[in-house]
Structures are given as C-alpha cells and as structure tokens.
C-alpha cells in the first residue's frame, strides 16, 4: 500500500523558512516523479515544485526561494522554503507519479497517482 506522509509545516513570519518532508512507503522509491503542491482556501491546487531523475521544476512564484530535493536512501523528498511570503500560506501536499516514463506535466495534479494528507503552512506578515 503506497503511503506518502508529509511533515514540517507550521507558522512562521514573513521572511522565515520551513523545510517540508515527505516520506514514501509501500513501493520501491527512487525511479518516480515527485511533486509538491499547495492549496489555499478557495483556490485551486497548484504545482509548486517537482523532481524526477532528469531535473527539477519550479513554479515562477517560488523560483529562487524554494528548493526540492530527495534522499533515496530515506525514501524522502524535501521542500526547503526560504523567504516565505504571506501568499505562500496554504496546505502543502506531496504527490507521487509511479513508473514515471515519458512526457508529463509536472505541475498538473492529474499527472500524479498518490497523495499525502497535507501539512499546513501559515505565514504571518
């Protein structure tokens, strides 16, 4: 049974940092596409960052501030978030696209097979 469990969310002031973690289990981790998404109240879920064997991807709104990385030995993908802004506040979700072959849109929620339960990020001004 595939499971993704996020952690690391919390409340910070604008300009602060948080590191989100997503631990994957239930499958052989390492050859998949992983993504971080966020959803604020009343808004659609949006892709924030993604990673696969070839490259990383970042939404324009977070480029230069967020960094996605993974540790295959720990079955974990991270999202380091620096210089946080109030508009970054949202529920953050980890997602996995297993057996990731061929073209896909890393920012499209529909491209991913599995999701975590989310971790809340609050940023005060």
Per-residue pLDDT reduced to its tens digit, 49-79: 999 987 999 999 999 999 999 998 899 999 9
Indicate the DSSP class of residue 89: -
b/e per residue, 38-65, with b = 16+ CB within 10 A?
beeeeeebebbbbbbeeeebbbeebeee
Indicate the DSSP class of residue 88: G
Indicate the range of 44-53, 89-98, 99-108 predicted with least confidence. Answer: 99-108
């Amino acid at each position: 049974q595939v499971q993704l469990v996020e952690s690391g969310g919390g409340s910070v002031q604008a300009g602060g940092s948080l590191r989100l973690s997503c631990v994957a289990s239930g499958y052989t981790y390492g050859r998949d596409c992983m993504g971080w998404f966020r959803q604020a109240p009343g808004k659609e879920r949006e892709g924030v960052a993604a990673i696969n064997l070839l490259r990383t991807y970042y939404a324009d709104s977070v480029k230069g501030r967020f960094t996605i990385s993974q540790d295959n030995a720990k079955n974990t993908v991270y999202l380091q978030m620096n210089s946080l802004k109030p508009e970054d506040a949202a529920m953050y979700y980890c997602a996995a696209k297993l057996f990731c072959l061929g073209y896909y849109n890393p920012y499209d929620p529909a491209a991913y097979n599995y999701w975590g339960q989310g971790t809340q990020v609050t940023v005060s001004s």
